[in-house]
A and B are shown apart, each in its own frame.
Chain A
């Protein structure tokens, strides 16, 4: 075989393998979408892989009837918590990257450690405190919890983002006589939009998808969608088509964000692997 033919067939093989892998990764998507579009009569164990003979939205409607109120909860939780978390992260990241002081790296370490702890190790006191301050079983309480435990990752994302901004830009501000806050407002903040997008997307996804805090701190009717989904899935009386439709609905908001802004999502993903 000539080198050219050899090269061409390896290229072909690479695409073939990639396409097989794509199909494998999309199997759950196929199952969820196909099952969600079946009506009660068509969902059966033996015909799981079959396409529906008629597209029916009855399962999705049934799922929405169950999940609708919880969607409200999740948005009420995720949107403010994301915004607050990003703002705090931006302030901390600015302090830790541009105004290092003696011991700031130790503080950075102490902040970052909070990102890796299993939250079970704070859960008992957390529940008691939330109960005492009257925030147990409230969306406001969940917002507080997500903002606090989101500080490490938000700080990390912004700190790494600001490290990449050249210090010379700040020197100009210093010469003009603007101090810490002036430089933040007039120089750093206007450059921070990509940082806010990365941190915002990451935090929105994490908060929306979180289950442990949601299941520990809320009861019906204040539960976010992830808890409602598990309740639906755990119920013996709810059909598979409605369960899959619920799984689909729960995933749609984060998937839309991912499809629109996937590049920034990956940057958040990579930021999670630290970088001193």
Chain B
């Protein structure tokens, strides 16, 4: 940071102005983010589980209560299964799209626009539309039937979980119904992965690839030993951002499936919302929210710290 020396004087009105500029935003975020999070943590430690607020101390009772419910255990299974599959699919599809678009093709802008446009649409629109396309009585199943498919999938209405390993109160495995949600989510978000990968690919210097080609490396070899390693930081970025988005997923589930039968498509975000505002169990809802926040913070805080450090050193 050599140019910083210019700004760093003793006291100056300019530095004062800079701090003053930030103060309104800092106060707002201090209250609405940090203050409210602290308040939510506080609520999660109380007995406020009915319509009438009760702030007597309950210790970790609400946390134990939620972890002992069939619903929250299902949520944890669902969120892990969903997030892992969602990230893997977005990375694979996103990278494939980016590579295809990066082949100096004609009408590149058109292709890019098509793959990114779902990002401009609301998750609830995606949910409504895909629940129609994947409705077992019509949509995709009509096409499968025309091809002579015998046992048609029941998509998001399926209650199957494979493999079905009993753990706690639930069956551990992949709820098939989640795969339908996954299709919709990947359709919506793969464009993000593509856009970031495309920026990453374009940042790789051509002469490295050229040198490898002169050395006689084939296309696959160049891809695996030169391009892929260079995309490591890009991949980390995509994983972190999409993980945060995936753990928070709400509108899509709300509009497409709801909690599902036996909570096969339920998520912590939806559980929190219904427990709190429909079930009036505010303290338990707060506990779910705190667990969800911690899940996300574990990914986001190290990522933010490391990217900000890098920025400082560059």
Contact = CB atoms under 8 A, between A and B. Distances in A.
A101 B18 contact: yes
Interface string A258-276: 1100100110011011111
Given A92-B22, A95-B18, A270-B196, A124 B29 contact: no
B125 A121 contact: no
B18 A116 contact: no
Contacts of B112: 266
Interface string B118-135: 111111111111111101
A209 B17 contact: no
Interface stretch (B161-169, B207-215, B286-294): B286-294
Contacts of B67: none
B103 A14 contact: yes
Interface string B1-43: 1011011100001110111011011101100111111011001
A131 interface: no
Interface in A53-74: none
Nearest to A112: B304
B307 A274 contact: yes
A45 B137 contact: yes
A114 B301 CA distance: 11
B29 A122 contact: no
B159 interface: no
Contacts of A31: 129, 132-133, 139
Interface in A67-120: 88, 91-92, 94-96, 98-102, 104-105, 107-114, 116-120
Interface string B97-128: 10011010100000111111111111111111
- Interface SS, A side: helix
Interface residues of A, number: 96
B22 A122 contact: no
A182 B125 CA distance: 45
Contacts of B113: 258-259, 262
Nearest to B242: A273
Contacts of B155: none
16 contacts: A14-B105, A46-B142, A100-B4, A100-B18, A109-B308, A111-B25, A117-B293, A121-B36, A122-B40, A180-B14, A211-B123, A226-B122, A226-B124, A251-B122, A254-B120, A269-B116
Interface of B: 1, 3-4, 6-8, 13-15, 17-19, 21-22, 24-26, 28-29, 32-37, 39-40, 43, 97, 100-101, 103, 105, 111-133, 135, 137-139, 142-143, 187, 192, 195-196, 199, 237-238, 241, 244, 247-248, 250-251, 254-255, 268-269, 272-273, 276-277, 282, 285-286, 288-290, 292-293, 296, 300-301, 303-305, 307-312, 314
